[in-house]
């Protein structure tokens, strides 16, 4: 069912993205590191989960958000233990404490089963295992961890994903990042086209034998664009309420989410006002660099060229803005409703 609001995990519940899914499943066979990127609510976790459930290999899933509360080393340790169980090892593994040093990062790991141990067991049984890490940008020193696994544990593969597109780019390596020079397979999840978005809604309602009003669906697509996350919520609410109410409900639901994402982003920034005006300008359809600059000036903020470039780069890196043919666009149309403007 398409209008279930949890991330999808079964292939039959996944609309579209067959190409990305097979590219991911094939990619796991041939690559050591695969990165799935895309703006928020585009369906990255769903794609990853369906692939996770489709592969018949030792595997584990780490949610980067858990690393905010639990040391990442513990999450890795638990994941390794889970994979060892899947390899179905008869031999008893001794408990031991190991210490790992990854490029200046000292992890004191209480590994029941270390990555090293897991890797040698995989080799012994001629298997390969996969660690999936969702929201990898929340894991501190993720780049060092990924390059260490890549370099030292040849039977362990990694599939990682995150919404902060530019941050992911930094993690997977350009310039002096630890992963630079290693082969990384990239899979980009793009928003649905307007036609596909419409077709998603039509199929979603048909699955539930609900009648369809095309004008309403077109209006929903005009509001939520091709972001499958909001379209799913719209479908979910539309089952219980009118079109207008369902639209309003999704916008109300989106506001605090987007507000907290934005506040979190600007909390560490010096030029908060200029950032907000840049975003406001883009949301008012000032899509060209010079127009955005004039808009900010019109608000009494004398911003330099390099500062504006750095603001726009940051907004792109954190997934709030997209750049299409030299123009800046909101990555999520609902940003314009956030109450911080
Ligand atoms: N291909 C799909 N088919 C049907 N529903 C989908 C699909 N992809 C995502 N969804 C739905 O959209 C919503 C968001 O999906 P998901 O969490 O996978 O996106 P995401 O890109 O990981 O989002 P975030 O950036 O917030 O982590 C969920 O309700 C999910 O059920
Ligand atoms: Mg996700």
Write the burial class of residue 147 (CB in 10 Å: 0-12 exposed, 13-18 middle, 19+ buried). buried
CA-nearest residue for atom 23, ligand 1, is: 41
Pull the structure tokens for residue 295. Answer: 């808009």
Output the ligand 1 site: residues, CB below 6 A. 2, 4-8, 13-17, 38, 40-46, 163, 228-229, 232
The H or E element spanning position 102 is strand 98-102
Query: What is the CATH number for 257?
Result: 1.10.8.60
Query: What is the CATH number for 324?
Result: 1.10.10.10
Provide the whole-model pTM: 0.89
In this structure, the answer to whether residues 126 and 236 fall within a common structural domain is no
Counting the structural domains of the chain, the total is 3
In Å, how far from its chain's centre is CA 16?
A: 17
Nearest to 12 by CA among 25, 1, 3: 1
pLDDT score of 105 more than 50: no
Each residue's pLDDT tens digit, 278-297: 999 999 999 999 999 999 99
What number does the ligand 1 atom closest to the CA of 42 have? Answer: 21
State the residue range of the domain holding 287: 265-337
What number does the ligand 1 atom closest to the CA of 233 have? Answer: 29
Pull the structure tokens for residue 76. Answer: 């890795």
38 C-alpha to center of ligand 2: Å? 10
Nearest to 84 by CA among 60, 55, 50, 64: 60
Average pLDDT of the residues of the chain:
89
In this structure, the answer to whether residues 255 and 279 fall within a common structural domain is no
Q: What is the torsional sign of CA 86, 87, 88, 94?
A: negative
CB 247 within 8 A of CB 220: yes
| Residue at token pair 């996969």 | 130
Each residue's pLDDT tens digit, 30-55: 999 999 999 899 999 999 999 999 99
In this structure, the answer to whether residues 101 and 133 fall within a common structural domain is yes
Q: Please enumerate in sequence order all residues whose Cβ is within 8 A of that of 151, keeping only pairs 6 or more positions apart, or say none.
A: none
Instruction: Give 176's pLDDT tier (boundaries 50, 70, 90).
Output: low
DSSP of 53-72:
HH--S-EEEEEGGGGGTS-H
276 C-alpha to center of ligand 2: Å? 25
CB 1 within 8 A of CB 127: no
**Which of 173, 188, 203 is the endpoint of a domain?**
188
CB 54 within 8 A of CB 223: no
Give percent of the chain with pLDDT exceeding 90.
Answer: 71
CA dist 80 and 78 (Å) reads 5
In this structure, the answer to whether residues 34 and 151 fall within a common structural domain is yes
Ligand nearest to the CA of 197: 1
Average pLDDT over residues 15-36: 96
């Amino acid at each position: 069912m398409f209008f279930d609001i949890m991330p999808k995990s079964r292939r039959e519940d996944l609309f579209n993205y067959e190409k990305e899914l097979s590219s991911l499943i094939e990619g796991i066979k041939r690559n050591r590191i695969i990165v799935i990127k895309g703006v928020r609510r585009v369906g990255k976790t769903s794609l990853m989960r369906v692939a996770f459930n489709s592969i018949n290999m030792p595997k584990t899933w780490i949610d980067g958000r858990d690393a905010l509360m639990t040391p990442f080393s513990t999450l890795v340790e638990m994941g390794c233990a889970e994979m060892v169980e899947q390899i179905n090892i008869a031999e008893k593994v001794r408990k031991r404490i190991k210490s790992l040093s990854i490029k200046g990062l000292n992890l004191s790991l209480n590994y029941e089963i270390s990555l090293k141990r897991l890797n040698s067991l995989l080799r012994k049984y001629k298997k390969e295992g996969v660690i999936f890490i969702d929201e990898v940008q929340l894991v501190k020193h993720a780049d060092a961890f990924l390059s260490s696994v890549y370099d030292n544990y040849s039977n362990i593969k990694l599939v990682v994903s995150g919404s902060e597109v530019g941050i992911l780019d930094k993690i997977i390596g350009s310039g002096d990042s630890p992963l630079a020079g290693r082969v990384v397979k990239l899979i980009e999840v793009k928003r649905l086209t307007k036609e596909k978005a419409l077709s998603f809604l039509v199929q979603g309602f048909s699955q539930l034998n609900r009648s369809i009003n095309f004008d309403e669906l077109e209006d929903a697509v005009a509001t939520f664009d091709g972001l499958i996350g909001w379209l799913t919520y719209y479908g979910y609410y539309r089952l219980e309420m009118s079109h207008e109410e369902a639209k309003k409900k999704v916008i109300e639901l989106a506001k605090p989410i987007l507000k907290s994402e934005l506040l979190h982003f600007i909390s560490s920034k010096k030029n908060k006002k200029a950032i907000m005006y840049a975003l406001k300008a883009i949301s008012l359809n000032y899509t060209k660099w010079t127009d955005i600059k004039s808009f900010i000036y019109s608000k009494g903020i004398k911003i330099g060229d390099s500062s504006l470039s750095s603001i726009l780069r940051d907004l792109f890196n954190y997934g709030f803005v997209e750049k299409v043919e030299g123009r800046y666009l909101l990555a999520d149309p609902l940003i314009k409703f956030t109450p911080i403007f």
